[in-house]
C-alpha cells in the first residue's frame, strides 16, 4: 500500500507541476488550459501505456525487465495523475462560452473515466473478490476501452488533420503517441507468444497481484 501511494503521489505531483508551469507562464485563458490538457494527457498516457504493455515489453526485451510486475503501480499512477487532467477539463468547461466537447464525445470520454477509476478501486482488494476469471474480463474490457479513448485522441489528428494542423510540429506532437496506441496491443500479443507461461497482457493477472 505504501509503495503504491508513493507512486501515486509522484505521478500526481508531476502532472500538477506541468499544469502549474504552463498556466503560470501563459496565463489561465482557454488556449493555455488546452495546452496544459495536451501535456497532462501525454503524461497520463505514458503511465497508462506502461500499465498496459509494460509486462509485454519485459517479456520481449530483457533490457526492460524492471517493467515486469509493475502493472498495478503504473495503473494507479495513471489514475492519480489523470485527476489533474480531469480538473483542467472541468475548468475549461467553466470558462468556455460553449461546451468544448460534443455530447457524444463527452459520453465517450466519461465512460473511459469510469473504467479508469473502477479499475483503480478494484485494485484495492476488489480484484480478489471478483476472482481471477471475472477480474481478467473486467480488466481486459476496461484497459482496452481506455486505450481506444487515448487512440482516438492521438490517431485522428494524424490521419485527418485540420488545415491549420498540416505542419511538422503538429505531426511530431501526435504521431509518436498514435504509434504507441497502435503498438500496445500488438506488443501484448507478441508478449504472450514470447512467454506463454507468464501472461503479459491486460487480461493477465496473478491472483495475489491485482493490477489497476
DSSP of 2-15, one letter per residue?
A: HHHHHHHHHHHHHH
Residues of the chain with pLDDT under 50: 196, 198-212
Among residues 157, 197, 169, 204, which one has the least CA distance to residue 53?
204
Q: What is the pLDDT of residue 66?
A: 92
From the CB of residue 27, how many other CB atoms can be counted at a distance below 10 Å?
Answer: 11
What is the rounded distance in angstroms from the CA atom of residue 202 to the CA atom of residue 172?
28
What is the rounded distance in angstroms from the CA atom of residue 65 to the CA atom of residue 47?
17
Say which residues have a Cβ less than 8 Å from residue 30's Cβ, sequence separation at least 6.
92, 95, 96
Q: What is the pLDDT of residue 94?
A: 95
Cα 135 from chain centroid (whole Å) = 19
Range list of H helices, 123-207: 127-130, 132-159, 168-194
Cell numbers for 61: 526485451
What is the rounded distance in angstroms from the CA atom of residue 76 to the CA atom of residue 81?
9
Q: What is the pLDDT of residue 195?
A: 62
Contact 113, 150 (CB under 8 A): no
CATH architecture of 2-194: Up-down Bundle (1.20)
Give this prediction's pTM: 0.89
Amino acid at each position: 500500500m505504501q509503495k503504491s501511494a508513493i507512486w501515486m503521489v509522484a505521478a500526481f505531483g508531476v502532472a500538477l507541476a506541468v499544469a502549474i508551469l504552463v498556466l503560470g507562464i501563459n496565463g489561465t485563458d482557454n488556449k493555455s488550459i488546452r495546452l496544459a490538457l495536451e501535456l497532462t494527457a501525454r503524461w497520463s498516457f505514458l503511465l497508462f501505456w506502461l500499465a498496459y504493455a509494460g509486462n509485454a515489453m519485459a517479456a520481449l526485451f530483457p533490457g526492460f525487465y524492471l517493467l515486469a510486475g509493475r502493472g498495478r503501480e503504473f495503473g494507479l499512477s495513471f489514475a492519480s495523475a489523470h485527476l489533474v487532467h480531469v480538473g483542467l477539463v472541468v475548468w475549461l468547461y467553466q470558462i468556455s462560452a460553449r461546451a468544448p466537447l460534443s455530447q457524444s464525445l463527452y459520453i465517450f470520454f466519461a465512460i473511459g473515466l469510469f473504467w479508469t477509476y473502477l479499475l483503480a478501486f478494484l485494485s484495492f482488494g476488489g480484484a480478489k473478490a471478483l476472482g481471477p476469471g471475472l477480474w481478467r474480463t473486467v480488466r481486459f474490457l476496461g484497459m482496452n476501452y481506455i486505450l481506444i479513448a487515448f487512440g482516438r485522441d492521438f490517431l485522428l489528428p494524424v490521419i485527418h488533420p485540420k488545415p491549420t494542423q498540416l505542419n511538422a510540429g503538429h505531426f511530431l506532437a501526435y504521431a509518436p503517441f498514435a504509434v504507441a496506441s497502435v503498438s500496445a496491443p500488438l506488443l501484448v500479443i507478441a508478449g504472450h507468444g514470447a512467454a506463454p507461461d507468464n501472461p503479459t497482457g491486460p487480461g493477465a493477472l496473478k491472483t495475489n497481484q491485482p493490477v489497476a
